[in-house]
Amino acid sequence: MITTMKRISLTRRAINKFPSWNLVPCVLNRRLHQPNTRQIRLNEQHQMTQYKKKLKEQQGTLLKTTSSPKSQHERSLFRNMESDKEVLQYLKESSSQNIIIYSAAVKRCSELKYTNSLIQIIEIVQSKDIHPDIIFYNMTLNYLGMWNKFDLQKHYFQQWFDKQ
């Protein structure tokens, strides 16, 4: 404790020996640099908020897209179906060319744990000459991977994406 007091008094004496005009540039230097770093920080914060606003707008536009009432009704029918046979029968009888319905069927059959019906849904889509979109491809490949059907996943991936 005594040594720290001696050190403090030594530094005070050392400061008192120097003229005050010698300390002014140091203080001015700090004052000049602080607003600059503060301004940089404010600019970065502003850019980040602008980026978040743009991102929020993009997400909002994606969420605002709605499907037709008919496809919503058909997807709700899938939720009520208890087996893959009902789903496959409905798809075979349906004349719809909407790929969203087939994507919903893939999802429902996977939820019901009927993995072999995924292959049949793909065959139905191909037999009706429906052009799948990226959502159908992604969903089908994802569920095939979830059920450890990696050979089929690789086969369909090559079939769908190697020809493009």
In the structure, what pLDDT confidence band is assigned to residue 12 with cuts at 50, 70 and 90? low
Percent of all residues in the chain with a pLDDT value above 70, rounded to a whole number: 71
Does pLDDT of 30 surpass 80? no
What does pTM read for this prediction?
0.57
DSSP 1-13: -HHHHHHHHHHHH
Residue 15 confidence (pLDDT): 55
Q: Are 87 and 62 contacting, i.e. CB atoms less than 8 angstroms apart?
A: no
Residue 127 confidence (pLDDT): 93
Q: Higher-confidence residue: 37 or 138?
A: 138
User: How many CA atoms lie less than 13 Å away from 39 in the CB half-sphere?
Assistant: 6
Q: Domain residue spans in the chain?
A: 2-64, 69-161
Average pLDDT over residues 4-27: 53
Q: Are 136 and 99 contacting, i.e. CB atoms less than 8 angstroms apart?
A: yes
Residue 144 confidence (pLDDT): 92
Q: Are 110 and 143 contacting, i.e. CB atoms less than 8 angstroms apart?
A: yes
Q: Are 149 and 115 contacting, i.e. CB atoms less than 8 angstroms apart?
A: yes
Which pLDDT tens digit goes with each residue over 121-147? 999 999 999 989 999 999 999 999 998
